[in-house]
């Protein structure tokens, strides 16, 4: 298996099933790995209280998985009755269609291996800490959980239409790096931000990046960076806005976007709703 940059993936893909799932083999985690998990968790926990949205914070608190690498089956026993989702253990990144098929069937793939201690602050490939800490709490939110499933279904369609690159930008700028406008100010629900030590404060407080109101077509036309903090974040008003945006058939959108050059990650357009100092354009007016 190779990643999108062509490098060899580090997971063990030798024992997977045809759908790329494996057993978590929780007993094989070492005490050093559980200790690293506790340290990663403690650092993030201290950062998220004033940066994550309430939906994330409240669920995280109720799940109690800070004491060591969690067992997927224990979380599944809570997740299934909450939103009918299930976690499945995987060796790492998956082929696009396999990934979409899991999401479309309300199965969220979680990588089984944990980063090395020297990767405490930064890791290239998503590991169990990113996948679990960043993504799992939001799967307990019914509207967001439905959005992820709709995204998976859309992915299967996009695969057939050769439009994955455009659709992937939506996942990147929402599920991974999305911000939300709340009565308490801007917060994040994006897993890439929530599992990062540095980007969490940067995404919400730095004067450098653009913060722009959610716009589906604009997002699907905007490139992103995978090796630096983001230059632009998109802000939703609520999770319903996100889910509703995925309701239409994207086929005509792809046709419309195909004739246009994608925007650079840093660009601001005259039509953008720009948030200044975290204040929404509407509230500032």
Q: For residues 246 and 280, which CB has a smaller minimum distance to Fe ion in the complex? A: 246
Nearer to Fe ion, 97 or 123 (CB): 123
- Whether residue 102 lies in the annotated active site: no
Give how many residues touch Fe ion by CB under 5 A. 1
Pattern 19-38, binding to Fe ion, x per CB under 5 A? --------------------
Least CB distance to Fe ion at residue 109 (A):
10
For residues 204, 210, 211, 213, the Cα torsion angle rounded to the nearest 10 degrees is -170
The verdict on whether 14 is a catalytic residue reads: no
Query: Which of 33, 51, 55, 195 does the annotation list as catalytic?
Result: 195
Judged by CB under 5 A, the chain residues 71 through 100 that form the site for Fe ion are none
Q: Say whether residue 104 binds Fe ion (CB under 5 A).
A: no
Catalytic residue among 33, 51, 55, 135: 135
- The least distance separating Fe ion from the CB of residue 252, rounded to whole angstroms, comes to 28
- Position with the least CB separation from Fe ion: 191
Q: What is the smallest separation between the CB atom of 144 and Fe ion, expressed in angstroms?
A: 14
**Site map 222..241 versus Fe ion, x via CB under 5 A:** --------------------
Q: Which of residues 170-209 bind Fe ion (CB under 5 A)?
A: 191
Least distance in angstroms from the C-beta of 191 to Fe ion: 5
**Residue closer to Fe ion (CB basis): 111 or 280:** 111
Judged by CB, which is closer to Fe ion: 139, or 191?
Answer: 191
**Residue 212 φ then ψ, to 5°:** -125, 140
Whether 260 is a known active-site residue: answer no
Cβ proximity to Fe ion, 133 vs 239, nearer residue: 133
From the list 33, 55, 176, 199, the catalytic residue is: 176
Q: What is the 3-state secondary structure (H, E, C) of the chain?
A: CECCCCCECCCCCCCCCCCCCCCCCHHHCCHHHHHHHHHHHHHHHHHHCCCECHHHHHHHHHHCCCCCCCCHHHHHHHHHHHHCCEEEEECCCCCHHHHHHHHHCCEEEEECCCCCHHHCCCCCCCCHHHHHHHHHHHHHCHHHHHHHHHHHHHHHHHHHHCCHHHHHHHHHHHHHCCEEEECCEEEECCHHHHCCCCHHHHHHHCCCCEEEECCHHHHHCECCCCCCCCCEEEEECCHHHHHHHCCCCCHHHHHHHHCCCCECCCCCCCCCCECECCECHHHHC
Active-site amino acid positions: 130, 135, 176, 195
Interface ranges with Fe ion (CB under 5 A): 191
């Amino acid at each position: 298996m190779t990643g999108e940059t062509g490098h060899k993936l580090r997971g063990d893909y030798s024992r997977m099933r045809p759908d790329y799932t494996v057993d978590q083999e929780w007993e094989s985690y070492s005490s050093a790995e559980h200790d690293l998990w506790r340290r990663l968790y403690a650092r993030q926990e201290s950062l998220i209280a004033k940066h994550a949205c309430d939906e994330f914070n409240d669920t995280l608190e109720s799940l109690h998985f800070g004491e060591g690498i969690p067992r997927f089956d224990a979380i599944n026993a809570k997740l299934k009755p909450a939103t009918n989702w299930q976690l499945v253990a995987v060796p790492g990144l998956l082929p696009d269609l396999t990934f979409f098929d899991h999401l479309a069937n309300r199965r969220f793939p979680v990588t089984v291996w944990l980063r090395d201690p020297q990767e405490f602050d930064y890791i290239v490939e998503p590991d169990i800490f990113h996948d679990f800490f960043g993504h799992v709490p939001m799967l307990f939110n019914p509207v967001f959980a439905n959005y992820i499933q709709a995204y998976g279904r859309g992915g299967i369609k996009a695969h057939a239409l050769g439009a994955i690159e455009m659709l992937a930008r939506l996942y990147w700028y929402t599920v991974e790096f999305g911000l939300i406008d709340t009565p308490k100010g801007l917060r994040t629900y994006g897993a890439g931000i929530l599992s990062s030590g540095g980007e969490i404060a940067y995404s919400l407080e730095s004067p450098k990046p653009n913060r722009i109101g959610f716009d589906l077509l604009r997002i699907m036309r905007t490139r992103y960076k995978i090796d630096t903090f983001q230059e632009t974040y998109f802000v939703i008003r609520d999770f319903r806005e996100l889910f509703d945006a995925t309701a239409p058939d994207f086929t005509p959108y792809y046709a419309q976007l195909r004739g246009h050059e994608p925007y650079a990650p840093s660009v601001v357009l005259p039509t953008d709703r720009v948030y200044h100092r975290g204040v929404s354009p509407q509230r500032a007016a």
